[in-house]
Amino acid sequence: MLDEALAALAASGGAAVATAAGTDAWAGLRDSLARWFGRGSERRQTAVLERLDQTGAELAAVGPAQAESVRAAYRAIWQTRIQDLLDDLDDPLERNTAAAQLRALLDRLPAAQAPVGADHGGVAVGGNLSITAQGSGSVAAAVVRDVHLGRTDAVRADDGQERPTPPDAPQG
């Protein structure tokens, strides 16, 4: 069982796959993630490339009505695959190294491709959200549940953009 930081990292990875498919960021993420999963094995890397290609093709083929549910399914699938890989690494040093490599891979995604998603009927925001009700009889409401943040604390990047930093790798 992975600790919270690694589980959040896996969730960020799954979201990145589901979000990047069909965008300009897809090719780079696809290749980098396949190398990460392959861990030096060309056979494993090829198998992951085939799975990623299947993911990309299915996400590209669905209509707007099914897009979010299919995206959510692939988010969960890739999160589980990442969790399984990290969980299978028995050596804590090897697990921490793999986690650091995945964080670096995800940090290279363009800010516009930062993984954000919501289930049916929800709203996802990759930034600030303000909900306001004005005037007599107005109502404003929000529900927050099952929030998983894979990154914390913002840092200013070389391009002047503020980006979140990943959580520190677990020690021990």
- 29, part of any domain: yes
pLDDT digits (tens, 9 = 90+) for 118-152: 554 555 555 445 566 677 776 766 666 555 554 44
d(C-alpha 133, C-alpha 136), whole Å: 9
**What is the b/e burial string over 88-106, where b = at least 16 CB atoms within 10 angstroms of the residue's CB?**
eeeeeeebbebbeebbebb
- 104, part of any domain: yes
d(C-alpha 32, C-alpha 53), whole Å: 13
Number of domains in the chain: 1
Domain that holds residue 41: 4-111
Whether the pLDDT of residue 162 is over 70: the answer is: no
Whether the pLDDT of residue 73 is over 80: the answer is: yes
- 164, part of any domain: no
Q: Which of 106, 111, 104 is nearest to 78 (CA)?
A: 106
pTM above the 0.85 mark? Answer: no
- 122, part of any domain: no
